[in-house]
Chain A
Amino acid sequence: MKSILVIVLSAMLTDNFALSKFMGICPFLGVSKKLDSATGMGVAVTFVMICATLVTYPIHYGILVPNSLEYLDTVVFILVIALFVQLVENFLKKCIPALYKSLGVYLPLITTNCAVLGVTVLNIDNAYNFGESIINALCGGLGFMLALVIFSGVRRKLEYADIPETFKGVPATLIAASIVSVSFMGFSGLFN
């Protein structure tokens, strides 16, 4: 039970995927302009992270380890994620068009999101069991969404700020991200 709590808190707060592991920085900086697109991206990433873990974990322990092919992890995982994202996209398009309408545009972008590959590889590296892996993926995704939503709020304020000409645009966004990251450093005292 204690280990689960540690995974939950570290995946969401202290080792936040976007702000301290720097995974999924492109969507973090690119899709955080508006609150609803930030939420949409966050939900889509969480969803794909969980699905990817559900698929890659059995493949690693069921197929690759018994045949001592662990070195193929990277190739197999990214391929499975790419195919799976395509599958989910087609499934949503046909069966749940309402959900597709809100998440559809984010799904193809997620294939190349390092947070998704990152979470599946981390689950294996940290030797989590199946339950822990799912929790790690769920909380990692929620933490990513939390960072994205907070940051979209910061960016809305940033639009009204008087910024020097050279810093307008991406430099100002990065410096704002740095300040949001400082605020997440406050959580680092949670474990002792």
Chain B
Amino acid sequence: MAENKRSLGSEISKGIIKENPTLVMLLGMCPTLAVTTQAFNGIGMGLATTFVLLGSNIVISALRKVIPDKVRIPAFIVVIASFVTLIGFLLEGFVPSLYDSLGIYLTLITVNCIIFGRAEMFASKNGVLASACDAIGMGIGFTLALFLMGSVREIIGSGQWLGTSLPVLSKNPMLIFIMPAGGFFTLGVIIAAVNKLAKRKPPLEISCGDGCGECPMADKCAGKAGE
């Protein structure tokens, strides 16, 4: 029992630091770059993705013995897209301002590689409880990464933090940080900083290179696309 508890705890904690989906595994780059012009949007996107991830991981792991292997990708897609539609309705009803600022990127949670990757790598092979813990951990890790990105960009780019103006900085905001170019730059520096702190070598490639393990299409393409 004690051992079981510890392993569930480690399923949660691995997603936050050791296997952080954004900063270590480099998955889900699109929302990480696109919605993080404000820290609040980052949190919103992170929580919406966590909701979808939790729902899809639970359903997929519960159905893992029913879904035939050959049609698993369309089956996963339907489950994920249904949860995305659901969170879209919830946000539109209860937090319309967030719904407006996330815009099309809310729909694009459907094709977020984190959710697909977890469904393929974890939920389709593990039990419901473990999959739920995995989803919570990955979701928290993703939310924290987005919050970090959003904070850096909002503080430097518009001199505010969570909507509150900061002294000095608000007089001289560096607009480039809330523009697309600033997104790439901030993410590059954050990944470098994380690597420095963790004393790791920085990853050399993104998903289509070395990271085939997480890619749902790995068996079909076998790393050929990255060459």
Chain A residues close to B by CB (< 8 Å):
19-27, 29-31, 33-34, 37, 41, 71-75, 78-79, 82-83, 105-106, 108-109, 111-114, 117-118, 121-122, 125, 166-175, 177-179, 181-182, 185
For chain B, residues 60 to 105, give those with C-beta under 8 angstroms from any C-beta of chain A. 73-74, 77-78, 81-82, 84-85, 88-89, 104
Q: Are B29 and A29 in contact (CB under 8 A)?
A: yes
A108 contact set on B, CB distance < 8 A: 217, 220-221
Partner pick for B192 among A83, A122, A167, CB 8 A cutoff: A167
A111 contact set on B, CB distance < 8 A: 73, 217
A-B contacts counted at CB < 8 A amount to 167
Which of under 10, 10 to 19, 20 to 34, or 35 or more describes the interface residues of B? Answer: 35 or more
Q: Are B207 and A26 in contact (CB under 8 A)?
A: yes
Known interface pairs A41-B225, A167-B202; A178-B181 also in contact (CB < 8 Å): yes
Assess whether B191 is interfacial by the CB under 8 Å rule.
yes
Q: Are B182 and A178 in contact (CB under 8 A)?
A: yes
Can you list 13 contacts pairing A with B, beta carbon distance less than 8 Å?
A: A25-B29, A30-B205, A31-B226, A37-B225, A74-B81, A83-B74, A112-B217, A168-B202, A171-B192, A173-B206, A174-B188, A175-B184, A181-B184
Q: Mark B175-186, 1 if CB is under 8 A from A, else 0.
A: 010011111110
Chain B nearest Cβ from A136, distance in angstroms:
13
Q: Mark B36-68, 1 if CB is under 8 A from A, else 0.
A: 000000000000000000000000000000000
Instruction: Return the chain B residue nearest A89 by Cβ.
Output: B220
B110 contact set on A, CB distance < 8 A: 74, 78, 117
Q: Are B111 and A112 in contact (CB under 8 A)?
A: yes
Partner pick for B34 among A21, A37, A121, A174, CB 8 A cutoff: A21
Partner pick for A117 among B29, B108, B215, B225, CB 8 A cutoff: B108
Residue among A27, A178, A182 having the largest count of chain B Cβ atoms under 10 Å: A178
